[in-house]
Amino acid sequence: MEPDDTAGLPPPAKRTGPCSAPRAHHPPDALLGHSFGGKVALLAGGLPELRDRIRQLWIIDSTPEARPPAGSAWQMLLALRHLPDAFATREELIGALTGSRVALPTALWLATNLHFVDGRYRWRFDLDALEALLRSFFETDAWAIVEAPPPGLEIHFVRATESSVMAPEVVSRAHRAGAAGRVRVHDVAGGHWLNADNPDSIVHLLVENLPR
C-alpha cells in the first residue's frame, strides 16, 4: 500500500491532496485557489509530492487563519439554504438571488451550477457537503506555511478591497511574514467573488508575476 502523505493534515488538504498530485510529464509551477480553495492551496503547498516542485501559491481572497464561520462564502451558503431545491428556469434562480442583494455577475455565475433533472433545474452540488467543507475551512489554521514557506516558494495573497475575508490583523501578519521577501499581498478592487467582479485584474497579476 502506498503511504498516505496527507496523514495528519487538516481535512481540506486530505480531501483534495490526491487531486493535486503533479502529472509526471508536466508538473505545475504554481497553484491558485480562491476562498476555500485558497486555504487548500496553502496546505497543498506543504505536501511532500508538491513542495519541491511548486514555485508559487496564489491565494485569492482567502485567509490562513482559523476563526468562527463568517464572511461572503458563509453568507452565500446561508442564502442558498433559504432558496427552493429546484427551479423552473435558470432565470428564476437569478431573480431570487438578485432579489436577495446578490450582485448580478455572481448570480449568473451561480446559475451555471444548475443542471436539468426530472423537468427542473437543480444544484449540481450538495449543500450539506458544502457546509461541512466550509466548517472544516474555518477550523483549519494554515499560518505555518505562510510564516515559514518551504525553500523556493513564493506566496501571493490577493485581497479583494470590498471583502472582509482578510481582516486587517491578517493582512498585517501576512505583511510581517513577507519581510523576507517571499510573501506578498496584492490589493484588487472588488468583492469576494473576484472571478465575477474583476477577473481582468487577476489575469493581469498572473501574467506579470507567474514563473517564466
pLDDT value of position 66: 96
pLDDT value of position 8: 40
Give the span between the Cα atoms of 77 and 125, in whole angstroms. Answer: 12
User: What is the radius of gyration, based on Cα positions, of the chain?
Assistant: 18
Does 82 fall in a domain?
Answer: yes
pLDDT value of position 107: 94
Does 157 fall in a domain?
Answer: no
Does 207 fall in a domain?
Answer: yes
Say whether pLDDT at 72 is over 90: no
pLDDT value of position 25: 60
pLDDT value of position 2: 32
Length of the chain: 212
**pLDDT digits over 23-65, tens only?**
456 668 999 999 999 999 999 998 988 878 899 999 999 999 9
Give the span between the Cα atoms of 78 and 197, in whole angstroms. Answer: 21
Give the span between the Cα atoms of 33 and 99, in whole angstroms. Answer: 29
Nearest C-alpha neighbor of 48 from the set 17, 26, 76: 17
One DSSP character per residue, 86-100 reads EESSHHHHHHHHHHT
Does 93 fall in a domain?
Answer: yes
The whole domain housing 193 covers 168-175+183-212
pLDDT value of position 26: 67
Number of separate domains in the chain: 2
Q: Is 164 helix (H, G, I), strand (E, B) or coil?
A: coil
Cell of 8: 495528519
Residues 145, 45: contact at Cβ < 8 Å? Answer: yes
**pLDDT digits over 153-201, tens only?**
999 999 999 999 999 999 999 999 988 789 999 999 999 999 889 999 9
Does 195 fall in a domain?
Answer: yes
**pLDDT digits over 77-88, tens only?**
999 999 999 999
Question: Which comes out higher in pLDDT, residue 24 or 68?
Answer: 68
Q: Which of 11-20, 113-122, 179-188 has the highest mean pLDDT?
A: 113-122
**pLDDT digits over 126-135, tens only?**
999 999 999 9
Cell of 38: 485558497
Say whether pLDDT at 18 is over 70: no
Does 44 fall in a domain?
Answer: no
Does 113 fall in a domain?
Answer: yes
Does 208 fall in a domain?
Answer: yes
